[in-house]
Structure 1
Amino acid sequence: MNEKQIREQTMAKSLAEQLMQAGVVNQKQAKKASKKSKKNRELKREVQAAVQQTQQQNVQKSDQQNEKIRLEAQQKAITAQIKQLIEVNAIESKGDLEHNFNFEGKVKTLRVSSQQKQQLANGFIAIAHLGEKFYMLPAAVAEKIEQRGEGYIVLLNDKIEEDEDDPYKDYPIPDDLMW
């Protein structure tokens, strides 16, 4: 027993003794009252344990909600960074040639110059989408975007370094070859 319990018992006994001496209660009623106080203490302990458990559950819930909010904010920040990277580094795609590419099972077309078409084929330029629009970007920027989030880069070919010794480099490859 700890000191507090001993004090409670002595106070209860002394109170019970005082009440018996005063003739207010008899010995049977005093015992019954002491039993009630034990029940009250047990009930108090149970209530305290339930309160602590509820508090722990509330803390866990709030921690989970805070983590969820933090992850959502982090995802929003990444999305904003990707949007900014695309909009700032977009290459103007005005040209007289059409470049066709696959996007979600559909063939999309982007107007490009002949130099841009060659750079797309060689992997120096990539195509990204943001909403319903398509943008051409430098390959380095496209790689940064891919690191931050998937699904934005539509086309990024592997880089092909131009071979200076290639005897056919001055001859363009026609797009409309039939095999």
Structure 2
Amino acid sequence: MAAKSLQDQLLKAGLVDKKKANKLKAEKLQKKQKIKTGKAVAEDDSAKQAELKKQRDEKIERDKALNKAKEEAMQLKAVQAQIRQMIELNRLTHKDGEVAYNFKDEKKVKKIYVNEGIHKDLSVGRLAIVKLDEGYEIIPEQVAAKIAQRDESFILVCNDRSEEVVDEDDPYADFKIPDDLMW
């Protein structure tokens, strides 16, 4: 008796139909041809490898960009927390004042009421006005300078202490602006 192939035996038993048997035979033949040529398999593998490497590199770049964005967000949050803490620890109470101090917040003129001493200190630059949430706080100029190093957007008013340079040709040099001038 001649030895029958496994495929023939499966066909005879009815476990596999003729279409499936022919398909398996064709696949087997293609594999043998690829192995003989060797080139087709190598080219196909190198193309796949190159594509996989490219995908890995792109994923690494996306991950780096995402990590950098997260790190920047965390740093911004930490700086804002530091600024909030500095303002809360150094703010002055000004709720009982009777003198209005006008200042600009974005494009609007705002007004807070302070006593005369705080008004004078704001005018000469010893105190500054900062924005905290929706309110305004008064802090010492040194604290405002530290806040400005971190984020200047919190500082609304911080007048310079430096003396103004007087122009010799100024026709109004003899006329001083009064200290108690309110606007």
CA apart distance, 1:78: 0.7
Separation of aligned partners in 1, 2:66 and 2:90: 36
Shift in Å at residue 115 of structure 1?
A: 0.9
Distance 1:34 1:42, change over 3 A: same
TM-score, length of structure 1 as denominator length: 0.70
Alignment partner of 1:67 is 2:43: no
CA distance in 1, matches of 2:132, 2:104: 15
Residue 81 (structure 1) shift:
0.9
Counterpart in the other structure of 1:112: 114
Gaps of 5+ in 2: 1-31, 164-177
SS of residue in 1 equivalent to 2:100:
strand
- Which position in structure 1 is the counterpart of 2:9? none
> What one-letter code is carried by the residue in structure 2 that aligns with 1:112?
V
Which runs of no fewer than 5 residues in structure 1 stay unpaired? 1-29, 162-171
- In the alignment, what sits opposite 2:156? 154
Count of aligned pairs between the two proteins? 137
* Residue 135 (structure 1) aligns with: 137
In 2 relative to 1, CA 39–129 (structure 1 residues): closer, same or farther, beyond 3 Å?
Answer: same
2-side partners of 1:31 and 1:130: how far apart? 76
Cα distance in 1 for partners of 2:104, 2:145 equals 19
In 2 relative to 1, CA 68–87 (structure 1 residues): closer, same or farther, beyond 3 Å? same
Partner SS for 1:151: helix
Partners of 1:138 and 1:174 in 2: how far apart? 21
Pair 1:100 & 2:106 matched: no
Q: TM-score, normalised by structure 2?
A: 0.69
Report the Cα offset of residue 174 of structure 1. Answer: 3.6
Shift of 1:33: 4.7
Which digits, 9 at most, give the CA deviation of each residue in 1:118-147, with x for residues without a partner? 111110000001121000000010011111
SS of alignment partner, residue 95 of structure 1: coil
Aligned to 2:11: none
Moved over 6 A (4+): none
- Determine if contact 2:34/2:41 at 8 Å carries over to the other structure: no
Q: Percent identity?
A: 31
How much has 1:173 moved relative to structure 2?
A: 3.6
Residue 121 of structure 1: aligned partner: 123
**What is the root-mean-square deviation of aligned Cα atoms in Å?**
2.0
- 1:49 corresponds in structure 2 to 50
Q: Which amino acid aligns with 1:155?
A: V
Equivalent residue letter for 2:146:
K
Name the SS for the 1:68 alignment partner: helix
Partner residue, 2:88: 87
**1:175 and 2:181 matched:** yes
